[in-house]
Amino acid sequence: MDNLFLYVIAFLIFPGFLFTSSFGLIVSWIDRKVSALIQWRVGPPFFQPFYDLLKLWHKELIIPATAKKNGFILAPLLGISSVTLLATILGIINLNPEYQFIGDIIVILYLMIIPPLSIVWGGFTSGNPFGALGASREIKLMMGYELPFILAIVTVFFKVGSISLGEIIQYQHVHGVMLNLPSMIVAFIVSILCLQAKLAQVPFDISEAECEIMEGPFIEYSGPLLAVYKLMQSMLQVVFPWFLISIFWGGTSFQGWGILWAVLKYIFIITLVILIKNTNPRIRIDQAVKFFWGWVTLVALIAMILMFMGY
């Protein structure tokens, strides 16, 4: 019973919903502020993402007549609950690497696919041609980036000889972080590129292109449901880099200087993402799929070959 209570606390408060969402909103402020500074503007005030969410929460919720009502409402909720679960699992294993179950990383990889799927579901159920177009683009993009991403992660599996996140983190405590190896640096670059697509940031924001298909899957969403989607996206900005840190960069410890070091690692990754976002134009969907199945997969295979050669 005590354990159950702790799980509920973990899900709702610390590594789960409250922590991830508030941290994610702060990160989305950093994102907007840095983009504004790069464009020589002043940018929004600190609490702007919170204001946006509160405003959306108090707006009217319109469900279009052409939409499938149940799916339209359930899709964003499914997405946000899966992200919360993902953050909880990642957080608990990072806090205590002894705590694990067989194949937890497989569960994490599946949970990471659910938020894009919820966007797809919402887009198709909204009954809008632009929504359906955006959803189909999202599916193609997912097909594109999942292959090199899984290859890069599998490289770590073979190196450690385990498919459990706790053992991967413990291995790095003993043998040094993965990024000391050249093969792992290559795999890390591949996963940063896939991260850009998973977060739907600019070179790969094809599914919600504002100027051509008007935010795609989100076009019919208004008020609270749009707020849920926005919150989900800012939580993803926390969870996905955190996963990469756990796999490649020795995880995060919450003791002493470990907190500062964890934040610095996170800021490094998110700054890379923001810089790539601000210096690249959007590419077409066929270019994106060719890019991921061509060059990126090739580089991921090179990383795997390097790893088997012992580098």
| Residues forming the site for another protein (CB under 8 A) | 32, 36, 39-45, 47-48, 51-52, 54-55, 57-62, 210-211, 214-215, 218-223, 226
Q: Which of 4, 108, 80 is nearest to 235 (CA)?
A: 80
Q: With left for phi above 0 and alpha for psi between -120 and 50, is residue 120 left, alpha or beta?
A: alpha
Give me the helices (H) in 96-164, please.
104-125, 129-160
195 contacts 244 by C-beta, under 8 angstroms: yes
Question: Residue 145 is encoded by which pair of tokens?
Answer: 């980036």
How many CB atoms lie under 10 A from the CB of residue 142? 18
CA atoms within 13 A on the CB side of 153: 20
173 contacts 250 by C-beta, under 8 angstroms: yes
For 90, the 3-state DSSP assignment is: helix
Q: Which of 19, 45, 18 is nearest to 32 (CA)?
A: 45
Q: Which of 18, 20, 13 is nearest to 234 (CA)?
A: 20
* Cα dihedral across residues 107, 110, 116, 117: positive or negative: negative
Q: Which of 61, 105, 17, 53 is nearest to 223 (CA)?
A: 61
Nearer to another protein, 121 or 221 (CB): 221
